[in-house]
Chain A
Amino acid sequence: MNRKIIPFAVAGVLTCLVMAVSTVFAFSGSVKAEKVESDVVWSSPFSGAESMKVIDLTGDGKDDLFVQSPGYLTALNENGEALFGFGYEQMKTTLGDVTGDNVEDIVVYHVDAGMSVDVINQGQPATIADTLNIGVPSRVAVIRFASGPQIVLGDSDGNLLALDSNGQVLWTSDFAAGEVRGMDDVRIGGQAYVAIASHDGTVAVFDSQGGILWQSAQEQLRRMRAFDLNSDGTGEIITGGEYGAFKIYDAANGGLLFEKSLGQAVSEVREVELDGNPSSREIVAGGKEGGIWAFSFDGATARQMWSASLSDKITEIAGIDVDDDGKQEAVVGDDSGKVAIFTANGTRHNLPDRTSGIARMDVGKLGNERYVIVADLNELQVNKISFSSIPGFQFTPLIVGGIISAVILIIAAILASIPGKPEMKVAFQDTSLASLSAQRRMLKESIADVERLRQAGEVTGEAYLARLKRLRADLADNEAAFKKQGYNIKVETVQCPNCGGTLELGMDKCEYCGQVLLS
């Protein structure tokens, strides 16, 4: 091929490749310029938040911010002003409408006269039970059974006690030997049940009479959550183990739907609508070493969508639709104060770091805006999250590809314009008969010289053959020049059919490669 065409041919292939890759990137939507920013709307000192929720606690139709530490609980309005606040000893709280006024109440399970339960209805506390036969508070939940709401208490020794809305004991259980680490309402065939897990690895589902629907045991547990992941009226129970076991159970019968070892203790599990498809829900799990995994559950089993990591123990996960695309992003906080937002494909956007570890996070509407509320070990911060992107940025690979292609083509043009290097073996040859004859004589003398040198032992082996090969080649060139000029010449050389080396006519074996010559 012409040496001027080769650079263009190579450049053409490269340009096609570059543009193909650019087009794939441009139209796959994988190239984006997006950023998530966070502005602090207000903040308030609050240390050691253990529970936090954006919810209407006053019945005015506006959400308030409920936050609770081990010794104090309070409700703040949209501007961060305290609506009410109470101190309790070793309390655990839950939110639910116990009084039936369609306003969420705060249920407080605390140490007072023995173990007591208070219900705070629109800021008015009332003790509904005391001197209860149960241990130090660990978990409390309001379960809306078909027969009516029940307050289910769990202590640090694995004991359970259920109360009705008036504080009457309905049932008790000592189903496990370890601290109750998870308590959630769960639907089975549309009916409410309560799923409870203890630190010793026991998981059980109870009905409204305290009967155990099923019970299973596994490694020590850190987290248990119950969600109806595929909205079929029967929930799934998700557990996270002390040694990394991540399991999803069918709430109806305890059948194991999915199991995976995450390699580190599971410190948090939350449901986040990552893919925007309401028929399936996604779960985001966080690990003690900072690992983050997103799973999608399709009704039968789960598959991992992506994994990522932060630098410390994941302490909280919440979901918020930052960019209003109908898909939630996972807001994840860790024990070192880092907060990051992960999108459906695992892309990470960092929010400003906090000075202390993240304790709780929640997403909700305070006033007219949706906010992300972050409680670290020292304060509450209400943040407005804003999302922005550069329009049309996804097509920048085409621009970059175009630039690269143009440069490649220019280089090809330059290379084609550079003449090839001349041959380093040159012959200045006069083509007159006398000159060619003189050259022939000279070559034969030189060949004879080389032979003589070999016989004298001055030249041996490879050098002899190399010199002879070159002289014989020159002799063949000389013969060719004779023929070209139309002079008579007695041919004295022959070419080896194997190595191409020039040999003297009549030789029956090539001196250079050993090929037998039959001519």
Chain B
Amino acid sequence: MESFLCAFGVIAALTLILFVYLLNTARKRNAPITSSLTGKKEFLPVYITLADKPDSIVRGMDRFVAEVQKTESAGDKWRWAPMLIFLGGLGLMTIDGFLFLLGYKSLVFTAGGLALWVTALIFARHLRKSDSKDFSPRYTDVKNLIRTLRDDIKPGGTFNGHLDLTGAMLSSKVARTSKDTQNRITEHFRDEWLTFKAKLYDGNILRVSAIRKSKKRKSYWKRSPISGKMKSKPEKYKGAAQFLKVRIAVNPDVYVVKPGSAFKIGATIGKYKIAQLNTDGGIIDAVADSPFDEVEAEHILGFLQAAYSLLQRKAS
């Protein structure tokens, strides 16, 4: 009797899990997918090579979003179908139950119902595969940034660079590792998520790199001083910072570089604080950092605008 109850309990639990899984498949996903390490929302991993005119890039980015949404909406149309198959399987099993009430013992319809449940599960898995994570806000930010800068680009000129939204803490982005006194390894990530170069309308050449540096301590084993047992300590997110590198090769026919009072080392511009500034040789080289995890496009644009305050147009 106990083994029967145990088996019944296991079957009931598995059925419930399957039901909940299919119910969640049937419902449109609302809850964001979050990273187990940082607890932050995870986004669609996209890598975009930029080598086109600003308008073409903006259109291409819109088209790409539409394509992803088309796949997702095509799957969305059938999200209820696995649940329907599950209920169909339940219906088949009910026939066996009805036969049992009449005194007949049959497992044919139950077997068929189980087969339908397996089919429903596989179908649901495939539908979920067509789900996409949301686009990172950076995607829209960069699109807006390009849209804003398009009028400043030399006619027929292109943006060259990349937008890397594949993730900041991939193993391929470990710039270096360090060990502390307890031999614990910390990984230092360097994610150059945006870089572009463009020749501007005024003849200047603009180079921008947005970098996110983050740290993560790897998991390690530690012996408990009390019990003497070895315990595994999980990996730990140690924080991140944003960096912005801007280089403007100034057209000497149009501008002279005149260091001003607002754009100087230590000045805070939006979310950035200028850490290095060099204006020698008619080239503005600035490095700014930000303690914020995320920096929006408006702050990058604001920083570029502030850098332009160093330039004084020559009298024609």
User: Which residues from chain A sit less than 8 Å from chain B, CB to CB?
Assistant: 18, 25, 31, 33-35, 37, 349, 390, 393, 396-397, 400-401, 403-404, 407-408, 411, 414-415, 417-422, 424-430, 432, 434-436, 438-439, 441-443, 445-446, 457-463, 466-467, 474, 477-478
The 3 A-B pairs with the shortest beta carbon distances in the complex, nearest first, are A466-B172, A400-B112, A442-B160
10 A-B residue pairs with Cβ-Cβ distance under 8 Å, sorted by A, are A33-B99, A33-B104, A33-B105, A401-B112, A411-B123, A421-B130, A424-B44, A427-B51, A457-B176, A463-B173
The answer to whether B52 touches A35 (Cβ under 8 A) is: no
A-contact bits for B35-55, CB 8 A (1 contact / 0 none): 000000000111111111100
Q: When the two chains form their complex, are residues B51 and A462 in contact, meaning their CB atoms are under 8 A apart?
A: no
Known: A411-B123, A421-B132, A428-B51. 15 other contacts (CB 8 A): A37-B103, A400-B112, A403-B112, A414-B81, A425-B48, A426-B46, A426-B47, A439-B160, A442-B161, A442-B197, A443-B160, A458-B190, A461-B176, A466-B172, A478-B51
- Give the residue of B92, B103, B104 whose beta carbon is less than 8 angstroms from that of A400: B92
In angstroms, Cα B116 to Cα A407, docked, is 8
| CB neighbours of B162 from chain A (8 A) | 474
Q: Are B49 and A428 in contact (CB under 8 A)?
A: yes
Most chain B CB atoms below 10 A, which of A418, A443, A478: A418
- Cα–Cα distance between A404 and B115 once the two chains are bound (Å): 7
Query: B49 to A427, Cβ gap below 8 A?
Result: yes
Q: How far is the CA of A421 from the CA of B24 in the complex (A)?
A: 21
Given contacts A34-B104, A404-B115, A404-B119, contact A462 B174 (CB under 8 A): yes
Cβ–Cβ contact A463 & B175, under 8 A: yes
Tell me if A403 and B195 are in contact (CB < 8 A).
no
Knowing A424-B44, A436-B51, A474-B49 are in contact, say whether A396-B175 is a contact too (CB < 8 A): no
Distance of A422 Cα from B48 Cα, bound (Å): 13
B24 CB, min distance to chain A CBs, angstroms: 19
Chain B residues within an 8 Å CB radius of A425 = 46-49
Q: How far is the CA of A390 from the CA of B51 in the complex (A)?
A: 74
- Complex Cα spacing A459 to B195, Å: 17
Considering the complex, give the chain A residue whose CB is closest to the CB of B130.
A418
Q: Which residues of B contact A (CB under 8 A)?
A: 44-53, 56-57, 60-61, 64, 67-68, 70-71, 74-75, 78, 81, 85, 88, 92, 99, 102-106, 108-109, 111-112, 115-116, 119, 122-123, 126-127, 129-130, 132, 156-158, 160-162, 166, 171-176, 189-190, 192, 195, 197, 199, 207
The complex places the Cα of A443 from the Cα of B158 at a distance, in Å, of 14
**Shortest Cβ distance from residue B22 to the other chain A in the assembled complex, whole angstroms:** 14
Q: Quick one: given A33-B99, A407-B88, A459-B176, are A429 and B52 in contact (CB under 8 Å)?
A: yes
Contact of A33 among B48, B106, B175 (CB under 8 A): B106
Q: Given A438-B158, A466-B172, are A418 and B51 neighbors across the interface (CB < 8 Å)?
A: no
Rounded to whole angstroms, the CA-CA distance of A430 and B53 in the bound complex is 7
Checking A407, A426, A429, A442 against B64 with a beta-carbon cut-off of 8 angstroms, the contacting residue is A426
- The residue on A at minimum CB distance from B65 is A422
Give chain B nearest CB distance to A394 CB in angstroms: 9
Min distance, Cβ A402 to any Cβ of chain B, angstroms? 10
Knowing A429-B51, A430-B51, A466-B172 touch, does A35 contact B123 (C-beta < 8 A)? no
Cross-chain contact B195 with A426 (CB below 8 angstroms): no
Q: What separation, in Å, do the CA atoms of A390 and B49 have in the docked complex?
A: 69
Which residue from A33, A35, A439, A461 sits with its C-beta under 8 Å from B51? A439
Most buried by A among B45, B81, B112, B130: B112
Q: What is the minimal beta-carbon distance from B264 to any residue of chain A, in angstroms?
A: 24
Inter-chain CA distance A415–B48, complex, in Å, is 28
Chain B residues with CB below 8 A from A429, complex form: 49, 51-52
Candidates B48, B111, B129, B175; contact of A426 at CB < 8 Å? B48
Question: Which of A407, A418, A422, A428 touches B50 (beta carbons < 8 Å)?
Answer: A428
* In contact, B103 and A419 (Cβ under 8 angstroms): no
Supposing A18-B115, A428-B56, A430-B53 touch, asked if A407 and B85 sit within 8 A by C-beta, the answer is: yes
Nearest A residue to B106 via CB reads A33
| B61 cross-chain contacts in A, Cβ below 8 A | 428
Q: Given the complex of chains A and B, what is the CA–CA distance between A490 and B44 in angstroms?
A: 37
Q: Which residues of B contact A403 (CB under 8 A)?
A: 88, 92, 112, 116
A241–B15 Cα distance when bound, in Å, is 47
Our pick among A404, A420, A427, A443 for the contact of B48 (Cβ within 8 Å) is: A427
Chain B residue nearest to A422 in the complex (CB): B67
Contact partners of B46 in chain A: CB under 8 A: 424-426
Q: Closest chain A residue to B45 by CB distance?
A: A424
B45, B61, B108: most-surrounded residue (chain A CB, <10 A): B108
Given A428-B56, A459-B176, are A446 and B81 also a contact pair (CB < 8 Å)?
no
Contact B108 A397 (CB under 8 A): yes
Query: Chain A residues with Cβ under 8 A from B127's Cβ?
Result: 418
User: Which residue of B71, B112, B116, B160 contacts A419 across the interface (Cβ within 8 Å)?
Assistant: B71
Q: Is the CB of B176 within 8 A of A460?
A: yes
Check if A31 sits within 8 Å of B108, measured CB to CB. yes
Instruction: List residues of chain B with CB within 8 A of the CB of A420.
Output: 71
- A422 proximity list for chain B (CB < 8 A): 64, 67-68, 71
| Residue contact A428 to B176, C-beta cutoff 8 Å | no
Chain B: minimal CB distance from A481 (Å): 9
Chain B residue contacts of A37, Cβ below 8 A: 103
Question: What's the nearest-Cβ distance from chain A to residue B193, in Å?
Answer: 12
> Least Cβ distance of A453 to chain B in Å?
8
| Cβ contact within 8 Å between A446 and B195 | yes
Q: Which of the listed residues A33, A407, A414, A466 has the most CB atoms from chain B within 10 Å of its own CB?
A: A407
Known contacts A404-B112, A420-B71, A459-B176; is-contact A428 B60 (Cβ 8 Å): yes
